[in-house]
Chain A
Amino acid sequence: MKIKLDNKTIEVKEGKTILEICQKLKIKIPTLCYHKNMFPEARCRLCLVEMDGKLVTSCSTKPIEGCEIITKSDRILKARKMNMELMAPGVDMSKLSDDFEAREIYDEVGLQTERFKPVKNYKADLGASLVRDNNKCINCGRCVQVCAKMQEIFAIDFVSRAHNEHVSPYNEKHLADVACIRCGQCLINCPVGAISERSHLEEVKKALNDPKKHVVAQTAPSIRAALGEMFGMKPGTLVTGKMVAALRRCEFDQIFDVDLGADMTIMEESAELLKRVTTGGVLPMITTCCPSWILMMEQFYHDLIPNMSTCKSPHEMLGMLIKTYYAEKAKINPKDIVVVSMMPCTAKKFESTRPELETGVDYVLTTRELGRLIKEKKIDFPKLADEKFDPILGLASGAGDIFGTAGGVIEAALRTAYETATGKKLKQVEFKNLRTNKGIQEGEIVINGKKIRYACANGGANIRKLVENKDKYDFIEMMACPGGCVGGGGQPIYFDDKVLELRSKALYNQDSKREFRRSHENPIVKKIYKKYLGKPLSERAEKLLHTKYEKRSQF
């Protein structure tokens, strides 16, 4: 099909929208409500172009044979600017964080805020994990689409109409009171930063400044593959050493590795799996590292509670060990220890407030908050020299590293389960069928003549699909965010799905370079069991490292 684009006649494929054609030709068109993974709704009216003399939205319009399209003219620029001004009156550009899409587009279109006065006056909705400020919202609807289509949670939708239209949980309830899984995918996809995490930064700073407090930092596997992005480094750059160095400059007393907590999880979880398989326990067993999935299960699938592994998530396990094992060893009163987890996740903030888990972790910072803290301390992050975790709880195996990516938990658990049960070494520790970047991955392994069928799902919609087919499997991993924790709601904002692949690759690289690649080989894990816990699933381990779940209402 031939069309005329900016006075040039070009040949285009039928069925593509004008925006897609322009993006391919590197013609820049500002967009806000458009997201390539979602259904275009043409709400924001920013991507206007002229087609045969009429203003149309390029995201939703497909060209017709022989039409003439203009992407830049006074009329177009004026209309875009007017829509921008209508959408975001009263936006304080100086307060707008750099990491949001809108910043660049506001600059590009040229936002003036004096012509229209804001008409919105909403109270911010404070949840345990997420904060929603509808005064900043431009009603682009991306959060609604993500929640409904990618996660299939349907926690939020538009309510009311005309200039009163705004996004809210049903019946204008608070986010904290509805069936929201706190995954934070709405936040990741918000172009203007109307949704943010409930910040624990002030509390952490207060603890750091308190000489009586012994502040311990622990960092999740996936943040080391993403934190660099906050400082302009390429996606997928591994910054483990720099991160530790920066945390030391932030004056944390000890810096431990949640990857070790992941190793502990594997020890407990693989033992639990073997126990269930050999004694005829409830199968499939489902992993419990993802707090969003736990919330989803408690709200929508609470009949699965017997299927859930009773293991706490890695950072809660390590948090518990810090307040018991480490406190004993370092002779510090556990009451003076403040455990701060650096997590890629907004739901972990909620998890740390669960009454049954309250004693372990005190505060959770997301990757973005950590980046902000480092920026506030004026640390030149990319130039830092690598440093090592504190040795008491600072060594992890490769199995712990890959927890941060979808399929990693199963892979790590099976490495240990196979080898501890059979006493043989795995020939191939890398499970290729769990590294396919697909939403649902599956496979099987034979342990002592018993076939164990496993599967993992990432993203809420895929979880729902896998729950339907759960009886086909013995061991299931669920991760609520796309790509697993590397795509978590606490991670730096990303615009391209390739970023997730790069982050996963970085973790797999770290795994392949480790001296120990199996959790049960980790000398610290061995030491903890020998000196403190006995063996996996021992009475003490059950008390410290395992938890329980409750049924929650969807309404």
Chain B
Amino acid sequence: MQILRETNLEGLKLAQKIGKEKVLKILEKKGLVGRGGAGFPIAKKWKLALDTKANERYLICNADEGEPGTFKDKFILKNNSETMIEGMLIACYVLEVKKAFIYLRGEYDYLREELEEKIKEVIGKSGMNVSIDIVRGAGAYICGEETAIMQSIMGYRGQAMYKPPYPTVSGLWGKPTVLNNVETLTNVPQALLYDDWNPNYRLFSISGDVNHPGVYEWELGVKMSTILDSVKPKEKLKAMSFGCFGGIMPVDIKAKISQDSICKENCQHGAYSIIFIGEKHNIVDINLSIAKFYTFESCGKCTPCREGTVRLLNILKKIRDGGCNDEDLEMLKELAQHIQDTSLCGLGQSCGNHILTGLKNFKEDYTRCLKK
């Protein structure tokens, strides 16, 4: 796997040799984009932070992998954390950062001791004068969001803030702050060092009704048949869901999995976590359990998400129990669209995806539940 290649501080040495301008140029040329879900070019993000004048900058490594069905960051933290820490050091060097943070998901606390030792070891070897602190999340999903993570690190309520100002301009304690995902930072030294580094390789977290769930690495554009050959479905597959928030679409054996093919179905690829759903499941049940998740995880700040999600859940419960008519379906759609349109942060803006794509692709599952 490309992501497991160890760089042994060679990437950092190269970066220090060629200087930050060149590092940015190489990263831009190699096309390294963020792996957290939004796919923002890393060189552009770093430049934005560099262009903001400040006496201090911060770096955060986002290891708050809270999306259901996503576990690739845990895989990296377990197997190649040195390279990730090296990636952080390169970022610290380029961005002139003195203090960096790793925001570790609360449930990954068992990885912390080992990670702390690795940080000490790698920083010691590099000879750089930086500190990397591990901040343990307390379990809120919203704290994986860019602005909420910063509120949480600063000790405030983990709630999203509106943008702009973007964190690259005003983040932690009002200073420019760069936030990168574990996978992205691990890719940084690898992209710098190896000529055969491929920007299109992605880690896929596969789970659901398959015999071989786990983390896989495929190139974007991979055929569905290749994926299914590797993961070995337990039964005939009906749908695949991109995490909790990406949307839900039918499994098409002939399809190729890429950004475009997913977006064409109004879904979001996110961090490429795919939950396969077998034929025996009703999509209403799937959407209901997803709705339970975001109804619990909404931070409560803005009206549509706070008040809307619980109503989505209530309508879905009513549908499952067979007490609904067409009007309720319309309401469900309208409300989901409304929450998407008017919410403050990414959570609200994408929590309707499942309902909308589910209604579009699996209408018969819903109509089956309607009152006769």
Contacts and interface: CB of A to CB of B under 8 A. Distances in A.
Chains A and B belong together in one complex: yes
A41 to B, nearest CB: 7
Contact of B303 (A138, A157, A158, A161): A138
Contacts of B308: 86
Contacts of A41: 301
A162 B309 contact: yes
Nearest to B142: A161
B224 to A, nearest CB: 33
A187 interface: no
B338 A43 contact: no
B367 to A, nearest CB: 23
A162 B306 contact: yes
**At the interface, is chain B mostly helix, strand, loop or mixed?**
helix
Contact of A43 (B142, B301, B335): B301
A165 interface: yes
Interface stretch (A55-63, A400-408, A445-453): A55-63
Interface string A144-159: 0000000000000110
Contact of A162 (B299, B334, B341, B343): B299
B307 to A, nearest CB: 4
B140 interface: yes
Contacts of A112: none
Contacts of B301: 41, 43, 165
B300 A45 contact: no
A interface residue count range (under 10 / 10 to 19 / 20 to 34 / 35 or more): 20 to 34
Interface string B111-136: 00000000000000000000000000
B333 interface: no
Interface in B213-270: none
Given A43-B302, A163-B310, A79 B295 contact: no
Contact of A45 (B140, B142, B297, B342): B342
B298 interface: yes
Interface in A343-380: none
A429 interface: no
A119 interface: yes
Interface in A316-363: none
B342 A48 contact: yes
Nearest to A40: B162
Most A CB within 10 A of own CB, among B295, B306, B335: B306
A82 B338 CA distance: 8
Contacts of B334: 82
A83 B342 CA distance: 9
Contacts of B341: 55, 79
B344 A79 contact: no
Given A41-B301, A139-B300, A165-B300, A55 B310 contact: no
Contacts of B304: 45, 82-83, 86
A116 interface: yes
Most A CB within 10 A of own CB, among B302, B309, B331: B302
Contacts of A164: 300
A44 interface: yes
Most B CB within 10 A of own CB, among A41, A45, A138: A45
A83 B297 CA distance: 20
B133 to A, nearest CB: 25
A399 interface: no
B296 interface: yes
A45 B309 contact: no
B99 interface: no
B309 A42 contact: no
A163 B307 contact: yes
A156 to B, nearest CB: 13
Contact of A42 (B157, B162, B331): B162
A160 interface: yes
B263 to A, nearest CB: 18
B212 interface: no
Contact of A161 (B298, B311, B331): B298
A87 interface: yes
Contacts of A60: 162
B155 interface: no
A44 B307 CA distance: 11
Given A45-B304, A45-B344, A55-B342, A62 B164 contact: yes
Contacts of A138: 303
B344 A161 contact: no
B338 A87 contact: no
Contacts of A161: 140, 142, 297-300
B169 to A, nearest CB: 12
Interface in B329-372: 331, 334-335, 338, 341-344
Given A55-B341, A79-B338, A139 B162 contact: no
Given A41-B301, A79-B338, A119 B310 contact: yes
A426 B307 CA distance: 63
Contacts of A43: 301-303, 344
Nearest to A116: B311
B300 A160 contact: yes
Which 7 A/B pairs are nearest by Cβ-Cβ distance? A165-B300, A86-B307, A162-B298, A163-B310, A161-B300, A60-B162, A42-B162
15 contacts: A41-B301, A45-B343, A57-B344, A60-B162, A82-B335, A83-B338, A115-B331, A157-B157, A161-B142, A161-B298, A161-B300, A162-B295, A162-B298, A163-B298, A163-B306
Given A87-B303, A161-B300, 18 more contacts: A41-B301, A43-B301, A45-B302, A45-B304, A48-B342, A83-B342, A86-B308, A115-B331, A116-B311, A119-B307, A158-B300, A160-B300, A161-B140, A161-B298, A163-B295, A163-B310, A164-B300, A165-B300
